[in-house]
Copies of this chain bind each other. A is one copy, B any other.
Amino acid sequence: MARLVLKFGGTSVADLERIRTVARHVKREVDAGHEVAVVVSAMAGKTNELVGWVREMPHVAGANAPIYDAREYDAVVASGEQITSGLLAIALQSMGVDARSWQGWQIPVRTDAAHGAARIDSIDAALLSERIAGGQVAVVAGFQGISADGRIATLGRGGSDTSAVAIAAAIGADRCDIYTDVDGVYTTDPRVASKAQRMEKIAFEEMLEMASLGAKVLQVRSVELAMVHGVRVFVRSSFDDPDAQELQTETPVGTLICDEEDIMEQQVVTGIAFSRDEAQISLRSVKDRPGVAAGVFGPLAKAGINVDMIVQIISADGATTDITFTLPEGDYDRAVGILENPDSGIEFDALNGSKDVVKVSVIGMGMRSHAGVAADAFKALSDKNINIRAITTSEIKISVLIDAAYTELAVRTLHSLYGLDAA
């Protein structure tokens, strides 16, 4: 017997038929003798509809007031998960499974006051744990909690993954199963590299890099949380037949995200991630003086623009410097506007930039103990005539910025280079 949290996203609960399928997945685990909490998202499309209503609201008055009160946004939007939780509880009951819904405020899941993108402060899981131990399935409305002043607070988009991991930590679950539209985490995106393989296991740190660097299977926040609290997360498909023989086994198809120690044979490189949501800006011949970096990046930070890879090269005479950095594609025009503003006080000869760039990353815990991994990557890309525009590295990843046209070629080249191709 184990204690499990099962999380189902919006497409998995998109309509009544799919909610019944989810109930069958849950029943399978209950029948196997496990204690179960389920965390659900809103039915697919529902959150967008609710958000749309909120956004449409203030246009008549057109006041200079903020677009909307985030506490009211939360009251409206959190109703989506509330509906799913009640419907799933009913579906489970109709199959003879004892179940009840739990809203964030009922548990309670306590959050900070950052409505719309709140962080979980703590979860009082005593009652929830007691009920689960008593054999009742807890159906938890994901994505939400209650702030100190008693208002509903949502965790921001994709927050249901975070809810699931947080609940798993709070009730001491043995595993948190994330049911999604893919059957696990792949060495890279199979749509780009057909030889991509599903991993059996991946370490928290690697998954965190994969998620941060472009893999969309899990929210970065939820991976962080899982790593900090040591919650084993299992990514698996919600599109399987819930009663299939393969799912009755102890080792169903999926990818386990776990401690490094739980992975017997750590590979040097685990996966290749890439992100197309990148842009590059280069400032040429910036007058070099103390504080020049702060002069450039201070105004951007103030505008809420997240700068990523930064490369700075001082000219031979030491008088000027070239600064290159990357940023999310959607912030490009705003950033250029800020830097070219004559009042900015930033002196440079020219600004070049491109939105047509992609960041490709090589990730693996084994890189820590293997020299030459980066050099191999640079050589392989160079052999294919792929120009590297910028590089950043950490202990367990190498990221290169290249022209977007070379994305597929670069991903496949690196995927082969590190022996990740399926036979």
Interface residues, chain A, with chain B CB atoms under 8 Å away: 16, 19-20, 50, 53-54, 56-58, 60-63, 65, 68-69, 71-76, 78-80, 82-83, 85-87, 89-91, 93-96, 100-101, 103, 105-106, 150-152
Known: A63-B95, A65-B94. Is A86-B54 also a contact (CB below 8 A)?
A: yes
CB pair B16 A94 closer than 8 Å: no
CA A191 – CA B152 in complex, angstroms? 45
Known: A65-B94, A75-B101. Is A87-B57 also a contact (CB below 8 A)?
A: yes
| Set B54, B83, B101: member contacting A90, Cβ < 8 A | B54
CB pair B91 A58 closer than 8 Å: yes
CA A250 – CA B106 in complex, angstroms? 44
CB pair A71 B54 closer than 8 Å: no
CA A152 – CA B101 in complex, angstroms? 11
CB pair B89 A58 closer than 8 Å: no
CB pair A93 B69 closer than 8 Å: yes
Residues in B with CB closer than 8 Å to A69 are: 89-90, 93, 100
| Set B54, B95, B96, B100: member contacting A72, Cβ < 8 A | B100
Quickly give the copy total for this chain: 2
Residues in B with CB closer than 8 Å to A72 are: 86-87, 89-90, 93, 100-101
Q: Which of A75, A93, A94, A95 neighbours the largest number of chain B CB atoms within 10 Å of its CB? A: A75
Residues in B with CB closer than 8 Å to A78 are: 82
Q: Which residue of B lies closest to A52 (CB)?
A: B16
CB pair A60 B94 closer than 8 Å: yes
CA A335 – CA B80 in complex, angstroms? 42
Residues in B with CB closer than 8 Å to A80 are: 79
Q: Which of A20, A72, A73, A85 neighbours the largest number of chain B CB atoms within 10 Å of its CB? A: A72
| 28 A–B contacts, CB within 8 A, in A order | A19-B57, A50-B83, A53-B83, A57-B87, A57-B91, A57-B94, A58-B90, A58-B93, A58-B94, A60-B91, A61-B91, A62-B94, A65-B96, A68-B93, A69-B100, A72-B86, A72-B89, A72-B90, A72-B101, A73-B86, A74-B86, A75-B82, A75-B103, A76-B82, A76-B83, A79-B79, A79-B83, A82-B82
Residues in B with CB closer than 8 Å to A100 are: 69, 71-72
Known: A72-B100, A75-B82. Is A16-B61 also a contact (CB below 8 A)?
A: no
CA A54 – CA B101 in complex, angstroms? 14
Known pairs A69-B90, A79-B83 / 7 extra A-B pairs, C-beta < 8 Å? A61-B94, A61-B96, A62-B94, A68-B94, A73-B86, A74-B86, A79-B82
CA A16 – CA B83 in complex, angstroms? 21
| Set B53, B85, B91: member contacting A75, Cβ < 8 A | B85
CA A105 – CA B103 in complex, angstroms? 12
Residues in B with CB closer than 8 Å to A20 are: 57, 60
Residues in B with CB closer than 8 Å to A152 are: 103
Residues in B with CB closer than 8 Å to A71 are: 100-101
Residues in B with CB closer than 8 Å to A94 are: 57-58, 60-63, 65, 68
CA A61 – CA B91 in complex, angstroms? 8
Q: Which residue of B lies closest to A20 (CB)?
A: B60
CA A16 – CA B54 in complex, angstroms? 9
CA A78 – CA B83 in complex, angstroms? 9
Q: Which residue of B lies closest to A56 (CB)?
A: B16
Cβ-closest 9 pairs across A and B = A58-B94, A76-B86, A75-B86, A79-B79, A61-B94, A72-B86, A72-B89, A57-B90, A61-B95
Q: Which residue of B lies closest to A82 (CB)?
A: B79
Residues in B with CB closer than 8 Å to A63 are: 94-96
CA A83 – CA B80 in complex, angstroms? 9
Q: Which residue of B lies closest to A89 (CB)?
A: B72
CB pair A87 B53 closer than 8 Å: yes
CA A246 – CA B90 in complex, angstroms? 50
Least Cβ distance of A124 to chain B in Å?
12
CA A415 – CA B103 in complex, angstroms? 53
CA A87 – CA B78 in complex, angstroms? 13
CA A369 – CA B109 in complex, angstroms? 62
CA A86 – CA B74 in complex, angstroms? 8
